[in-house]
Amino acid sequence: MSTQNEITYAQAIREAMCEEMDRDKNVFLMGEDITVYRGAFGVTQEMYKQYPDRVIDTPISEAAFIGCGIGAAVEGMRPVMEIMFSDFMSVCWDMILNQAPKMHFMFGGKVSVPIVIRTPSGGGTGAAAQHSQSLEAMLCHIPGLKVIVPSTPYDAKGLLKAAIRDNNPVMFLEQKLLYRTKGMVPERDYVLPIGVADIKKIGTDCTIVTYGRMVRTCLKAAETLAAEGISCEVIDLRTLLPMDKPAIIESVKKTKHLLIVHEAVKTGGLGGEIAASIAESEAFYYLDAPIRRLAAEDPPVPFSAVLEKGVLPDEDKIAAQVRELVQ
C-alpha cells in the first residue's frame, strides 16, 4: 500500500506542479507575482527557488502572458499559467475563446495547444463583485476547452497532473475557500481521468449534483438530512467539460429526485445544462418531482459579509430544497 499524507488543497496543487516539472522539462509556470510573492493565495510558495528558470513572473497583462503561453504550447512546451482571479479572464478572453481552443481544429490537427490555465474562482471571501465570480458556465460554452473544478486535495492533484499531460487547453478552476481544506493524498504518482464524476456519498432518496466548494457544503447538508431519514446521493462532477452525464442519469434513475447546486448565478448557469440533460434522457421518466436548481442569486457578489452570505447557497438552503423535493 502507498503512503498517504494529509495535506491542504493548495499543497496538493503545488505538489502536482512540482512533480510534473520534475517529470517533464517542458513544463513551466507563468503568472503575476508567483515567485517571491508566491501568488495571491500562496500556491506557488518557494517554487521559484527550486525551478529558478521555469517559474516566471509576468507583467500585469493577462492578454500578453496567456498569449505567450499559447505560443509556447504550440512550439512544444507545456505551460501552466496562473490568472490571479478568474474574473480577470475577461482581460484575455480572446485568447481563451478564439485562440487556444480553436487552433487544433483550424489547422487540421497539425497543431496542439497543451496549455493549463489555473485560476482561483468563487466567493465567500469578502472580495466583492470583481473578485468573487464563478464563471465556469462561460467556459463550458467554448468548444475545444476542457474545464475542471476539483473539490478535494486528492482530486486537485490527480486532475491537475492529468491536465498538464493533456494535449488540449484546460481551464483549471480552484475555488478560493478550498485552499486551506485538508485531505489524504497518496505519495505515489497518480493521475485521475478527465471527464469522470465521483460519487462522494451513496444515497437512495435524492441525487445532489454539484462541484467545487459546494461539494463540502452538500455533504454537510446530506449529513443533516440523514439524521431525518432522508438519504442523499452526492455526485461531484469534478470535470465540467467534458461532463459525465451517464453518471448523473444513472443516479437519477435510482433516486427519482434531482437537486443541482452550484455557486455560480442561476441564470445561464451550468445547472440548466444538467437539467436539460436529464430532461432529454430516459431518466426523465423516472422522476417523481420536477428538477430543482439551487444557485447564487443573480446580482453581483456584494462586499458585505452578511449580504454575500445571503446571495450564496449554504447548508440550510440545500437541506430545505431536498426536504421539499422528497416530501
Q: What's the DSSP call for residue 262?
A: E
- CA 288/CA 305 separation, integer angstroms: 37
Question: What's the number of domains the chain is made of?
Answer: 2
The reply to whether omega before 242 is within 30° of 0 (cis) is: yes
Same domain, 243 and 129: no
The CATH number of residue 228's host domain is 3.40.50.920
Same domain, 129 and 205: no
Same domain, 161 and 242: no
Same domain, 134 and 154: yes
* C-alpha neighbours within 13 Å on the C-beta side of residue 151: 24
The whole model's pTM is what? Answer: 0.96
State which of 186, 206, 221 marks the end of a domain: 186
pLDDT, averaged per 10 consecutive residues of the chain (327 residues), comes to: 90 98 98 94 95 96 97 98 96 97 97 98 93 96 97 98 98 97 96 98 98 98 98 98 98 98 97 98 98 96 93 97 96
Same domain, 226 and 161: no
- 3-state SS of the chain: helix, strand, coil percent to 5? 40, 20, 40
- CA 96/CA 171 separation, integer angstroms: 9
- CA 150/CA 128 separation, integer angstroms: 23
Q: What is the pLDDT of residues 151-201, one digit of tens each?
A: 999 999 999 999 999 999 999 999 999 999 999 999 999 999 999 999 999
Q: How many CB atoms lie within 10 A of CB 180?
A: 12
- CA 283/CA 98 separation, integer angstroms: 35
All residues at 6 or more sequence positions from 258 whose CB lies less than 8 Å from its CB, including other chains: 206, 207, 209, 248, 252, 275, 278, 287, 291, 292, 325
β-pairing, 4-8 with 182-186? antiparallel
C-alpha cell at 268: 445561464
All residues at 6 or more sequence positions from 75 whose CB lies less than 8 Å from its CB, including other chains: none
- CA 147/CA 82 separation, integer angstroms: 15
State which of 127, 156, 186 marks the end of a domain: 186
Same domain, 157 and 222: no
Contact assessment for residue 113 and residue 67, using Cβ atoms and an 8 Å cutoff: no
Same domain, 176 and 39: yes
Q: How many CB atoms lie within 10 A of CB 253?
A: 17
Question: What pLDDT score does 327 carry?
Answer: 87
Q: Is residue 192 part of a domain?
A: no
Q: What's the DSSP call for residue 224?
A: H
Same domain, 298 and 212: yes
Q: Is residue 307 part of a domain?
A: yes
What is the domain range of residue 259?
198-326
Q: Is residue 193 part of a domain?
A: no
Q: What is the pLDDT of residues 116-150, one digit of tens each?
A: 999 999 998 999 999 999 999 999 999 999 999 99
Same domain, 173 and 241: no
State which of 157, 186, 215 marks the end of a domain: 186
Same domain, 261 and 115: no
Q: Is residue 240 part of a domain?
A: yes
Same domain, 20 and 161: yes
* Residues noted as catalytic: 131
Q: Is residue 191 part of a domain?
A: no
